[in-house]
């Protein structure tokens, strides 16, 4: 897909547990027909929307938890999100992808939204940002 948003979960950690993942960035924006300034605004709005979704058992948003693996934006502004859960048996496994779809769909200018749930690779605490670790007292 032309516009790809790199998420904290997708970014390589700097080699140590608790290392802050690289901030989400637009990857391969040069192949997008969406103007760069609009793609940047859309990226910021998508991240803000994803940060409104929380795992009800954990007081940290799913973006900072590292549950969002990939966000892709095509030239028609359709968005595809690849995400995971903290565990396959998560009590909200059937609901959380719908929450993510609703949050992303609320962003002005977004077309259709597709959310894919994956457990490959499985989530682990190394995917959390420093902000999430601080909120959970995990330093």
Segment 76-116, tens digit of pLDDT: 999 999 999 999 888 899 999 999 999 999 999 999 999 99
| pLDDT at residue 95 in the model | 95
Tell me the pLDDT of the chain averaged across its residues: 83
Mean pLDDT of 56-63: 92
Mean pLDDT of 24-50: 81
| pLDDT at residue 138 in the model | 85
Q: Examine the pLDDT at 22 and tell me if it is beyond 50.
A: no
| pLDDT at residue 26 in the model | 45
| pLDDT at residue 15 in the model | 39
The set of residues, in sequence order, having a beta carbon less than 8 Å from that of 104 and lying 6+ positions away, is 46, 49, 50, 79, 81, 110, 113, 115
Residue reference for tokens 């565990």: 87
- Residue 51 Cα to chain centre, angstroms: 8
Q: How confident is the model at residue 17 (pLDDT cuts 50, 70, 90)?
A: very low
Taken in order 64, 55, 10, 76, the sign of the CA dihedral is negative
The set of residues, in sequence order, having a beta carbon less than 8 Å from that of 7 and lying 6+ positions away, is 21, 24, 63, 66, 68, 69, 70, 71
Q: Examine the pLDDT at 128 and tell me if it is beyond 90.
A: yes
**Least confident residue range of 18-27, 56-65, 125-134:** 18-27
Q: How far is CA 47 from CA 39, 118, 120, 137, in A?
A: 12, 19, 22, 23
């Amino acid at each position: 897909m032309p516009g790809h948003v790199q998420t904290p979960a997708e970014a390589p950690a700097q080699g140590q547990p608790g290392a802050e993942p690289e901030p989400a960035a637009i990857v391969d924006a040069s192949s997008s027909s969406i103007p760069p300034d609009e793609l940047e605004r859309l990226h910021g709005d998508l991240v803000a929307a994803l940060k409104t979704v929380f795992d009800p058992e954990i007081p940290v948003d799913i973006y900072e938890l590292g549950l969002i693996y990939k966000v892709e934006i095509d030239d028609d502004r359709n968005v595809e999100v690849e995400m995971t859960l903290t565990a396959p048996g998560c009590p909200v496994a059937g609901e959380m992808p719908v929450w993510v779809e609703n949050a992303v769909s609320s962003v002005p200018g977004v077309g259709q939204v597709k959310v894919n749930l994956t457990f490959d690779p499985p989530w682990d605490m190394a995917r959390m940002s420093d902000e999430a670790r601080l909120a959970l007292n995990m330093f």
